[in-house]
Amino acid sequence: MIDTLTCGARTLDLSAPVVMGILNVTPDSFSDGGRFTKRDDALRQAERMLADGAAIIDVGGESTRPGAAPVSEQQELDRVVPVVEALTSEFGALVSVDTSTAAVIRDAAAAGAGMINDVRALRRPGALEAAATSGLPVCLMHMLGEPGNMQDNPCYQDVTAEVIDFLRQRIAACKQAGIPSERLLIDPGFGFAKTVEHNLTLMNEMAALQALALPILIGISRKSLFGKLLGREVSERLPASLAAAVMCIERGAMIVRAHDVQETVDVVRFAHAVKQSGDSDRII
């Protein structure tokens, strides 16, 4: 497993797990839609997340919540690229772009982005080629269907095995397109085309993803899983999100994508410290 990831002009240290702060510049994201659509509001939020310990800021211009409709290429470009430019030039931040669109991949890379985070695993037309040309690391996420229909009737015989098989196929496609393993990360896609039971099984068996020998990114923050299982509204899901983050670190996650950065940084660091203590020689 790699300890460092070359992200354009920046390097990401993965010798210990890190937190990716979520910055949605969309009007309709499930948790914070509309809060950061103005450039200055987005920059102040990113500044707060960086101060709270985020190693990466993940900028998204197209909502991928269940039932979300796609936006036009130009809309996404207009939302994302100016924010990427500002974050890299004003803060020197390592910016990931949450996109599936080839033009956004190209223009975000030119604007200084250091990573591509694609919920569709580079399956949109031109995305694979754009990512290969960008030279940036890419996170491949598992999802069946599209956000508009992914929760209609997700069905698996063995959810963990099928997620791993899907990711293995996308890794092979990336390598064939000229994207080496050193530029790849994987995400099991909690909440994407998965029922509550699928999510619970996948989290329980998540250590199996380590067989792919790539850094694992997880996004579990404030997910509807907690609403369905615990009866909590979006604003009440922080404790469960933190518990899930700890469980994922125990099972091999190296990047935790989160809305609540300061709290998540604390639990990630603590979970890693406990894990490290178990790997060291015990002194009696």
- Given a contact cutoff of 8 angstroms between Cβ atoms, the answer to whether 36 and 273 are in contact is no
Is there a contact between 118 and 138 (Cβ–Cβ < 8 Å)? Answer: yes
Residue among 191, 186, 184, 246 at smallest CA distance from 216: 186
Record the tokens describing residue 134, joined without a space.
């960008």
**59 and 23 Cβ atoms separated by less than 8 Å:** yes
Taking the C-alpha atoms of residue 257 and residue 226, their distance in angstroms, rounded to an integer, is: 16
- Contact indicator for 125, 104 with CB cutoff of 8 Å: no
Residue 257 among the catalytic residues? yes
Which residue among 223, 237, 269, 282 is the active-site one?
Answer: 223
Kindly report the three-state secondary structure assignment for every residue of 41-56.
Answer: HHHHHHHHHHHCCCCE
Alpha helices in 52-101 (DSSP H): 73-91
Please, what is the angle between helix 127-134 and helix 159-177, to 10°?
60
Which residue in 170, 194, 237, 257 is the catalytic one? 257
**Residue 216 main-chain phi, psi, to 5 deg:** -105, 125
Kindly state the tokens that stand for 91.
């803060």
Q: Which secondary-structure segment (H or E) carries 217?
A: strand 216-219
The dihedral built from the CA positions of residue 54, 56, 61 and 63, taken in this order, carries a sign that is: negative
Catalytic residue list contains 223: yes
Q: Which residues are catalytic?
A: 223, 257
